[in-house]
Amino acid sequence: MIARLLLILALLLPLPAMAQSASEPKLVPDVSQRNINIQSRFTGAELLLFGAIIYPRGVAPSGQIDVAVVLRGPTRPIIVREKQKVAGIWVNADSIDFRSAPAYYAIASSRPIEKIVDARTAAIYELGLKRLQLSPTGEIETREVRRFTNGLVDLNQRDGLFAEAPGEVDITDQVLYRARLTLPSSVPEGKYIAETLLIRDGRVIMADDSVVVEISKTGFERFVTIMAQDYGLLYGAFAVLISLFLGWFAGYVFNRL
Amino acid sequence: MDIYLPIAGLSVNIVVIILLGGAVGMLSGMFGVGGGFLTTPLLIFYGIPPTVAAASASTQVTGASVSGVFAHMRRGGVDFHMGAVLVVGGLLGTLFGAVLFELLETWGQADTVINILYTLLLGGIGGLMAKDAWQSVSAKRSGKPVAASKRRHHPLVASLPGRWRFYRSGLYISPLAPLILGFLTGILTMLLGVGGGFIMVPAMLYILGMSANVVVGTSLFQILFVTMSSTMVHSLTTRAVDIVLAIFLLIGSVTGAQIGARLAQRMRPDYLRLLLAAIVLIVALRMALGLGWQPDEIYTVQFL
């Protein structure tokens, strides 16, 4: 049974790979850092996403090649609220629940996305902040979803959690590419997936999302987070004691001066 | 010098945080208020998530009030009897405040309610203080003393049932009055991350009619216990107390409080009160602008 399954797999698997390697180029992507540790001196990070394009028979074809890299953080459900002026004061009036908003999203491309792929392809691969699929819950008008998505994108862009960098992917000799993406200090922990797309004639000819960057708190920061989350009583008592001590200590020192 | 705050989840400049704590501490040393009413909005303005700001500010206020309580205790400026009643009210208030906070969060109106509370409380109290301080400053200038208030405490307080004697405060009133007062400030502590001194002190003077020499000490005594309890409640419910943030705020504020206390001895009390009134009114105005004119952000994100 197992042998037969293996045989089927062995027959099936090489087919697409072989078809690809015959005519299409291959991507070998990598990243400068696969683990980012959040420690007390963490002020954000810079990631270099780079790689090589391997062409069949080692010859680069004529015509322009474009590369887009997307780094996506873990998704989570969120509520986006919108303030409106009600009876003279600004209050949260309207809101939308999004089931899967990425905590981080950055895209860099060798040329502006609109110039290298058509709208449909861009939408399928979620290329660009305008095309993020956040899965709103409930029946909501497209226009309204648009408005809230724009609000969220604007907010996160100013915080550095969303970024769009057209023209920031450098391609050398049609073979090597690299892009620099920055992560602000407020990036949440989790698995970040880097996707690299090879684009020619408005078509995505190769996509690779095998590069994973793990961001996690370590050492003291991790300890504090665990204490606060799981041992609230102990953590609170410690916070109280330390504030009492510092207050008393300052009084004591200044009385001696 | 940047440091990462593990609970707030972002990095901040230590110097800014220490200076912020120091400035607030100086005010608290000068005026006998906790200073939370300044810390929380300033932290939020700096980019700290509001819940973390409120929770960590209450931890800071604990530290800032400790040395004050000891100083007042030494010269008999704390009415423990009155303080105990206020603390009981305050503890109940923080618990109630926690429930209220959860409700407001799910309803999505926490920040609006907090802003409205700030504007009304600070505006009202700042206005009262300014009027009061201005009257005594101008009275001193013209040489005419201000006429003493005729009644000791508010008629509502006198109408409450059951009376206890509070010797140091020089009062014979129903314990319900300080209990309710403590309860209300407890709610504020939980919601706003403030100690409530800026409400407590005028309320003790004008509503309860306590003797002026025990007002600040007793208010600090109550603040100490209520902020301790609110730190605990936050640690158990919102889990938003950032110990790293609190420690750096504390380093600044306990030092600032000592400097402020020394400065206060050299300044004329009326001008001091006028200055505090001005600061309180500025914060109120800033909050009012956010409510009525233009909020900082139209869109806000809440994680589920």
pLDDT digit string (tens) for A48-84?
A: 999 999 988 777 777 788 999 999 999 999 999 999 9
- Cross-chain Cβ contact A80/B250 below 8 Å: no
Answer whether B6 sits within 8 Å of A232, measured CB to CB: no
Q: Which of A186, A224, A247 sits opposite B7 (nearest CB)?
A: A224
**A90 contacts in chain B (CB < 8 Å):** 112, 290-292, 294-295
Which residue range forms the structural domain that includes residue B281? 2-143+152-292
Closest-CA residue of chain B to A250 = B254
- Helix, strand, coil % over all residues of chain A, rounded to 5: 35, 40, 25
Across the interface, whether the CB atoms of B108 and A229 are under 8 A apart is answered no
Q: Which residue of A152, A237, A238 is in closest CB contact with B299?
A: A152
Condensed to tens digits (0 to 9), the pLDDT of residues A163-207 reads 999 999 999 988 999 999 999 999 999 999 999 999 988 889 889
| Ranges in chain B, pLDDT < 70 | 32, 144-153
A224 contacts B243? CB cut-off 8 A? yes
Q: Which residues of A touch B108 (CB under 8 A)?
A: 79, 81, 92, 95
pTM: 0.83
Q: What is the pLDDT of residues B58-117, one digit of tens each?
A: 898 888 888 778 878 887 778 888 889 999 999 999 899 989 988 988 888 887 888 888
For chains A and B, count residue pairs whose Cβ atoms are closer than 8 Å.
Answer: 173
Q: Which of the four pLDDT bands, split at 50, 70 and 90, describes residue A29?
A: very high
For residue A186, give the nearest of B10, B66, B67 by CB distance. B10
Q: To the nearest whole angstrom, how far is the Cα of B129 from the nearest Cα of chain A?
A: 26
Place of tokens 């996707």: A195
Q: How many domains does chain B have?
A: 1
Contact assignment for B11 to A185 by CB distance below 8 Å: yes
Residue A240 has its nearest CB partner, among B228, B258, B300, at: B228
Integer Cα distance of A20 and A28 in angstroms: 14
User: How far is the alpha carbon of A58 from chain B, nearest alpha carbon, in Å?
Assistant: 46
By three-state DSSP, how is residue B150 classified?
Answer: coil
Give the C-alpha separation, B41 to B255, whole Å.
Answer: 21
CA distance B149 to chain A (A): 36
Does residue B303 belong to any structural domain of this protein?
Answer: no
Amino acid identity, position B280: V
Residue B265 CA to chain centroid, in angstroms? 22
Residue of B nearest to A38 (CA): B4
Mutation target vs B (from A186, A231, A246; most B CBs, 10 A cutoff): A246
- pLDDT value for A23: 67
B304 in any annotated domain: no
pLDDT digits (tens, 9 = 90+) for A95-127: 999 999 999 999 999 999 999 999 899 999 999
**Gap between the Cα atoms of A52 and B262, Å rounded:** 67
**Chosen CATH of A23-73+101-217 out of 2.60.40.3880, 3.40.50.720, 3.40.50.1820, 1.10.630.10:** 2.60.40.3880
Tell me which chain A residue has its CA closest to the CA of residue B295.
A90
Q: Do B298 and A221 touch (CB under 8 A)?
A: no
Residue B298 falls within a domain, yes or no? no
Residue B164 lies in a domain: yes
The residue whose two tokens read 């009133």 is B173
Best residue in B220, B235, B287 for a mutation probing chain A (most A CBs within 10 Å): B235
Chain A residues touching B300 at Cβ < 8 A: 80-81, 83, 92, 155
- Please check whether residue B110 lies inside any domain of the structure: yes
Sequence-distant (≥ 6) Cβ neighbours of residue A242 within 8 angstroms: B243, B246, B247, B250
ipTM of the complex: 0.86
- Say how many C-beta atoms besides its own lie within 10 A of residue B1's C-beta: 10
Nearest-CA residue of chain A relative to B303? Answer: A78
Q: Which two tokens stand for residue B218?
A: 């007793």
Q: Count of alpha carbons within 13 Å of B238, Cβ hemisphere only? A: 33
Of B6, B63, B116, the CB nearest to A221: B6
Let me know: does B8 contact B245? Beta carbons within 8 Å: yes
CB-based contact A236 B65, cutoff 8 Å: no
- In A, which residues are within 8 Å of B234 by CB distance? 236
Ranges of each domain in chain A: 23-73+101-217, 218-252
The answer to whether the beta carbons of residues B230 and B100 sit under 8 Å apart is no
Which residue in chain B has the smallest CA separation from A37? B4
Helix (H) or strand (E) segment spanning residue A84: strand A75-86
Minimal CA separation from A177 to chain B, in Å = 31
Cβ distance A247 to B302 less than 8 Å, yes or no, reads no
Instruction: Report if residue B26 sits inside a domain.
Output: yes
Instruction: Return the higher-pLDDT residue of A212 and B102.
Output: A212
Shortest CB distance from A92 goes to which of B109, B243, B247? Answer: B109
Q: What percent of chain A has pLDDT over 70?
A: 91
Which residues of chain A make contact with B251, given a CB cutoff of 8 A? 246
Answer yes or no: is pLDDT of A19 > 70. no
Beta-sheet pairing, A35-38 with A203-217: parallel
Cβ within 8 Å, pair B67-A247: yes
Q: DSSP string covering A143-176, please?
A: HHHHHHHHHHHHHHHHTTSEEEEET--EEETTTE
Determine contact, residues B198/B216, Cβ cutoff 8 Å: no
Residue B114 resides in a domain? yes
Residues of B in contact with A79 (CB under 8 A): 108, 301-302, 304
**pLDDT of B148:** 57
- Domain annotation covers residue B53: yes
Report the residue of chain B nearest A79, measured CA to CA: B302
**DSSP secondary structure code for residue B18 in this structure:** H
Judge: B231–A240 Cβ closer than 8 Å, yes or no: yes
